[in-house]
Amino acid sequence: MCSFLGQIAYGVLMFICLSLTLGSLFSPGWYSDGKDTHTGIVTCGNNPDLSDQQNKDLCKKWWDEQPTSIKAVVYLMGAAVLIEIFALFWTLASFCACCCRSHFLHVLPTAATITAVLLIIAMILFGAKHEIKDLPEKDSNFKKLDSISYSFWLGIGAILVAIGASIMGSITACLSDKCC
């Protein structure tokens, strides 16, 4: 019974972690000018003075000119999302495992730890290399965006929840071997 409650707690923590990671990755608040202008690392800000096609072209150019470190942040967070989804499905599968449930549960802390490590590397990379590439003069809004904004802090929250899930997964796996 105690490992069953641990599985539920782990699943809830991993769902929160997944939500924070996706929110961080796709929200437009990675870069800020310290006031009200933001842009993301996957989502690009739109200039209302330009047409949709010009905005798309500008965003494509902006993405192409981003440093490799910023692209690595996106890929690391994408890998973390995949592992979080795997962990959620594995948790659901472990509820159905009758005879070998304790073996299923030993994967949980590993998945959460890998997620935390990927997110930590991504946040360190972004924090160290978050300069924004210049764009043509007609969109000077991007040039002033040099402050870290709320999406970064959502990523930090995802790290903390992943660490909590790792601890909960470890406790659950240990309890499944000992008492239930």
Looking up residue 14, the CATH number of its domain turns out to be: 1.20.140.150
Mind listing the pLDDT tens digit for each residue in 16-61? 999 999 999 888 777 665 666 566 777 776 666 777 787 778 778 8
The parent domain of residue 173 ranges over 2-178
Question: Global pTM?
Answer: 0.82
Tokens coding 164: 């909590």
Structural domains in the chain (count): 1
Instruction: Give the strand order in the sheet containing 38-39.
Output: 38-39, 31-32, 147-148
Which residues are within 8 A (CB) of 59 and not within 5 positions of it... i.e. 6 or more apart? 44
